[in-house]
Amino acid sequence: PPQLITQGAEALLYKSTYLLPTIPCALKHRPAKPYRHPILDARLTKHRILSEARVLAKCRRDGVPVPAVYALDAELKGGWIAMEWVEGEVVRVALNRWLKRRKVEGKTLDDKEGQEKVLRLMRMVGTAVGTMHSVGVVHGDLTTSNLMLRPTAQEANGSVVDALDGEIVLIDFGLASQSTQDEDRAVDLYVLERAFGSTHPGTEELFGEVLTAYGESFKGAKGTLKKLEDVRMRGRKRSMLG
């Protein structure tokens, strides 16, 4: 039977199997909202499921590291989408574990020793986000909980060398859209930057590596980073005004 993994405001995520018992899959179910008019609810659900599937298919086709779409049903009451199950853990968990270990060892973020792997992880995040933006997709909800760290094939076979090794896979495209505007891309980065600041306090220097790798990931990245400065300014003004 499907195993409930997470429950969000809009959808439930289950771990299930697809076609064969040996093929795990992520089953995202959007339950009907009783407070909405049934016709409006059905239309909204259908639109969101098809939109997410299209974005994932586009990303997959263009080389962005995202889960493959196996099947969907946008007509069924509530609607669902079945995707590839990504092994590993979210970056939030891996990064917090690393930060906790550093604290136990009495090392601060200023201590450069042993930072190579976490800096490499940050660069991988920046490259993955840049690759997604380069194909005209913005995520809409970039946080370290929507970035998976998938172990390499060698590690998946049982010999985990280091918790920070692996590859980044972008997940949860429920709020994603297609856009090539610097403004939209910059807002994506700003949301991720704010998420870093609130979920992993004191990691501003590490996030700099994300932006450095992002800036090198595709031709238009420099324009997005320039626009990010404007978005930050607006964000600061909003904070000051409450």
Cβ burial, residue 196 (10 Å; 0-12/13-18/19+): buried
CB atoms within 10 A of CB 27: 22
**What single letter denotes the amino acid at residue 47?**
H
In 3D space, the residue among 219, 199, 197, 218 whose CA is nearest the CA of residue 208 turns out to be: 197
Cβ burial, residue 236 (10 Å; 0-12/13-18/19+): exposed
How is residue 97 written in tokens?
């574990």
DSSP class per residue in 108-160: -TT--TT-HHHHHHHHHHHHHHHHHHHTTEE-S---TTSEEEEPPHHHHTT--
Give yes or no: 188 in active site: no
Catalytic residue among 62, 73, 141, 165: 141
Q: Which residues are catalytic?
A: 141
